[in-house]
Structure 1
Amino acid sequence: MKNLIVIGGITATATGLIIAVQSMCSNRAGELIGPINTGFWTNILGGGLAGLFILGIGLIKGFDSVKITPASFNLTLLAGALGIFIIMGVAYSISIAGLSAGLAAIILGQMAFGALADARGWGGLDPIPLDSRRIIGLVTMAVAVFLLFPKD
């Protein structure tokens, strides 16, 4: 179980690096076409690319390997819709706060929601209590975000 947790942590860190690069690209695109257009175009182009991947995998492995179930459709639709607003928010906020402070603030928001979701068991695992140790971790992260914001 510990090895699985370490692998999960390494994967999450690598994903964080990819999110940072995506955020930087969204910020730069937002400077050129605005954050709203960036949110729409990122998802349109990414969706087209995902469609090509689904088609390719379906042709190679069979379309049963890429099917979407009725139970997962609404969750996937909601996640995709939220993704549009995420890109818009990233493109806007990072242009004001800077990449490191903006990403740290985004991560703080994710951590705060994650702690709530863990405490309620919304993520599909047994609830993880929101104890003082976890609250101190969130407060420490909030202080780190504050310290990363530009001095202006």
Structure 2
Amino acid sequence: MLAGLILALFAGSLVSLQNIFNNRVNERTGSWSTTTLVLGMGFIASFGMSLAVEGKGTFAFHNMQPWYWISGLIGVGVVICLVQATKLLGATFAISIVMTSQLGFALLFDSMGWIGLEKVPFTLNQLIGVFVIVGGILVFKLGGKQEQQETASH
């Protein structure tokens, strides 16, 4: 479990870092150029690592559902939406909304047993947890505005 926690924390830091880098690239190019660069570089890096680690296993797609192949298309949507959200909202606010959305949809998919996931019972505590996070985001965002307005009026 500890390894899973460490990996999840590391993944979160990488997502935030990638979002900042993507936003910087987007400032110099367009959203589609950014997405092409990000996913193209990701393909090259992951393909190379896969060949190094898994060898011929890289090309073994046994018993895979055909609709799993759309994952790459989902990645395009992720990058485009994140780049635009960061541009419009700022990195911290955009990422906090993305993480809350991820949690909410993961809860939905788990509790419904969708896309091949083992069905996990839905509890009121889980729902309250999501609402607490949403409340935290609102306090974070709205609290900063109030302080800015007070500073501007002095």
Give the TM-score of the pair, scaled to structure 2. 0.80
Unaligned runs of 5+ in 1: none
Corresponding residue to 1:42 among 34, 38, 41: 38
Name the stretch that deviates more: 46-55 or 16-25.
Answer: 46-55
The alpha-carbon distance between structure 1 residues 50 and 73, as it changes in their structure 2 partners (threshold 3 A), is farther
1:148 aligns with 2:144: no
Q: 2:26·2:83 contact (CA, 8 Å) conserved in 1?
A: yes
For 2:50, give the aligned amino acid.
I
Match of 1:63 in 2: 56
Give the superposition deviation at 1:125.
5.1
Residue 28 of structure 1 is matched in structure 2 by 24
Whether the 8 Å contact between 2:100 and 2:134 is mirrored in structure 1 is: yes
User: Which residue in 1 is equivalent to 2:121?
Assistant: 129
In the other structure, the counterpart of 2:105 is: 113
8 Å Cα contact 2:20-2:91 kept in structure 1 = yes
Q: How many residues of Structure 1 are paired with residues of Structure 2 in the alignment? A: 144
User: For the residues of structure 2 that align with 1:130 and 1:102, how far apart are their CA atoms?
Assistant: 27
On the 8 A contact 1:105/1:145 being kept in 2, the answer is: yes
Deviation at 1:46, TM superposition (A): 1.4
Query: Are residue 77 (structure 1) and residue 73 (structure 2) matched?
Result: no
Bigger relative contact order, structure 1 or 2 (CA pairs below 8 A, ≥6 apart) = 1
Report the Cα offset of residue 143 of structure 1.
1.4
What's 1:53 paired with? Answer: 49
With over 3 angstroms needed to count, the CA separation of the structure-2 counterparts of 1:124 and 1:8, relative to structure 1, is farther
Instruction: Identify if the C-alpha distance between structure 1 residues 50 and 10 changes in structure 2 by more than 3 Å, giving closer, same or farther.
Output: closer
In structure 2, what is the equivalent of residue 103 of structure 1?
Answer: 95
CA RMSD of aligned residues (A): 2.2
- Work out the CA distance in 1 between the residues paired with 2:116 and 2:123: 19
CA 1:100–1:49 in structure 2 vs 1: closer, same or farther (change >3 Å)? same
Distance 1:22 1:76, change over 3 A: farther
TM-score (norm 1): 0.81
Note if contact 1:94-1:102 (Cα within 8 Å) is conserved in structure 2.
Answer: yes
In 2, distance between residues paired with 1:139 and 1:73? 34
Structure 2: unaligned runs, 5 residues or longer: 149-154
SS in 1 for 2:119: coil
Higher gyration radius (CA):
2
- Structure 1 stretches of 4+ moved >4 Å: none
